[in-house]
Chain A
Amino acid sequence: GNSVTQMEGPVTLSEEAFLTINCTYTATGYPSLFWYVQYPGEGLQLLLKATKADDKGSNKGFEATYRKETTSFHLEKGSVQVSDSAVYFCALSAPTAGKSTFGDGTTLTVKP
């Protein structure tokens, strides 16, 4: 079946540091890939997505590129802020499945 593996956390960075959160997936066919963010006490918010190979999703300074050859969708940001502290989830959705499969999440803490 489909699965998503995220780098183990938590991740602690200083403000303005470079962020990478690794995500790899296993799926049949050509899934769409997503990054969601969850702030304390809230539901998930879609951060960015990519629906086909080599697509780059971007939003609020975050980027991720759909790499089919390595089955990866790593999240990057060039300069993190304290307000980026949250839990980040990588997810996939296969066109035939009608549901999303999530990784276990990576907790990011950014210190001033």
Chain B
Amino acid sequence: NAGVTQTPKFRILKIGQSMTLQCTQDMNHNYMYWYRQDPGMGLKLIYYSVGAGITDKGEVPNGYNVSRSTTEDFPLRLELAAPSQTSVYFCASSYGLGQGSGYTFGSGTRLTVV
């Protein structure tokens, strides 16, 4: 199994550009998450989804949008990139809420906005 796959691994955007970070999981997990990690910091939750068609805001949702049309895919959209969105983005999935051992993280997308 591939687990959680994120693409691209690296990206440089200019201010005001838009892009979509892709996330796919093959574990049939209902729950999926997007986190951002700033240098030297822990992960902060951007958006999450408890199943296809259902999404909800996390701690830092401003400037981002998500959709969940299938169980497998959970893309993260940046519409107007800003330097403050320079970060490493991690997608994760889990089979349930509240089970730390059940979270599987992708390898991350390093985004730089210049």
Q: Do chains A and B interact in one complex?
A: no
Q: List the interface of chain A (C-beta within 8 A of B).
A: none
Residues of chain B touching chain A, judged by Cβ–Cβ distance below 8 Å, are none
